[in-house]
Amino acid sequence: MIFYFSGTGNSYAAAKTLAAGLGEPLTNIAEAISQNAFAYTLKPGEKLGFVFPVYAWAPPRAVTDFIKKLELYFPQDPYTFAVCTCGGSAGETMSVLESALENNGLSLDSGFSLLMPDNYVAGFDVEPKKVQQEKLLHAKEILQLILRAIKLERKKFFRVKRGKAAKFLTSVVNPGFCHFATRTKPFYVTKGCIGCGLCESVCTDNCISMAGKRPVWTKSRCNMCLACLNHCPTASIQYGKKTEKRGRYLHPSYEKNSTKEDLK
């Protein structure tokens, strides 16, 4: 079984490729949380995987929160792996995930970072299309190597680009991100909003409601996955003033007219 979390499609695409190659089912972490579904039974020989993006050099809060509540039943210890998608370095992301798993009685056998197009539009503009395409092509190649390692059940096998000052970025910068950058107050909608409600459908934190055909953020903080901003068909959702002049990004696996049902 592969659990995944994804806002703009990078991690979903990686998880989908791995699930197809391994013959494992996919479970959307965001939907599982919203449905209060934390209990799962693994079949004999079934592998356990986690695929998710790196948010400021650590796993998304939703991923570690899900693992804390996860109830797994299995006839034998499953081979457990994790893949984190990132635009650059991952810092100590894998160590944070490993600690969360260990606190739940699980051990991590292998871990990988996968370079994919950066898409944190709230902080900077998206990469040029050519760079995105090059990264996606390279990611496909690396995924096959990751898939091979998982099939061989390589243990104590980690291929993660931690980058410079990894511990500082994860232990100091990430808490700052979680405290300041996850606020929903800076979100707003421009006149181009057509009231389609797609933002409400794709929100990974169930914190958007439509009121008078306009989205309203109902929580003070969210996952900051930016699914709402990047899926908006008219680019009307903004986060601060700078995003109005920045591009949008969705992995080809996610279409802008998709609904939450399509993104399972």
What tokens appear for 150 in the block?
């998982």
Are residues 78 and 150 both part of a single domain? Answer: yes
Are residues 154 and 220 both part of a single domain? Answer: no
* Cα-only R_g, the chain: 18
What is the distance between the alpha carbons of residues 168 and 174, in angstroms, rounded to a whole number? 9
Specify the pLDDT at position 255: 63
Indicate whether 256 pLDDT > 70: no
Residue 174 within a domain: no
Are residues 62 and 117 both part of a single domain? Answer: yes
Indicate whether 260 pLDDT > 80: no
pLDDT tens per residue, range 151-187: 999 999 999 999 999 999 999 999 999 999 999 999 9
What is the distance between the alpha carbons of residues 93 and 215, in angstroms, rounded to a whole number? 32
Specify the pLDDT at position 33: 97
Are residues 154 and 232 both part of a single domain? Answer: no
Specify the pLDDT at position 259: 46
Specify the pLDDT at position 263: 44
Indicate whether 27 pLDDT > 50: yes
pLDDT tens per residue, range 48-107: 999 999 999 999 999 999 999 999 999 999 999 999 999 999 999 999 999 999 999 999
Are residues 72 and 150 both part of a single domain? Answer: yes
Contact in structure between 14 and 115 (CB atoms under 8 Å): no
Residue 250 within a domain: no
Are residues 28 and 108 both part of a single domain? Answer: yes
Are residues 201 and 133 both part of a single domain? Answer: no
Specify the pLDDT at position 74: 95
pLDDT tens per residue, range 115-148: 999 999 999 999 999 999 999 999 999 999 999 9
Q: In the chain, which ranges are E strands?
A: 2-4, 26-28, 39-41, 48-53, 71-73, 80-86, 110-115, 157-159, 187-189, 208-211, 214-217, 237-239
Number of domains observed in the structure of the chain: 2
pLDDT tens per residue, range 197-254: 999 999 999 999 999 899 999 999 999 999 999 999 999 999 999 999 999 999 998 8
Contact in structure between 135 and 116 (CB atoms under 8 Å): yes
Specify the pLDDT at position 254: 84
Domain harbouring 233, CATH code: 3.30.70.20
Report, as an integer, the average pLDDT of 22-41.
97
What is the distance between the alpha carbons of residues 54 and 83, in angstroms, rounded to a whole number? 10
Residue 68 within a domain: yes
Give the global pTM.
0.95
Are residues 148 and 200 both part of a single domain? Answer: no
| Domain that residue 93 falls in | 2-165
Of 146, 140, 175, the residue nearest 50 (C-alpha)? 146
Domain harbouring 133, CATH code: 3.40.50
Residue 96 within a domain: yes
Of 53, 33, 32, the residue nearest 249 (C-alpha)? 53
Residue 36 within a domain: yes
Distance between start and end Cα atoms, the chain = 14
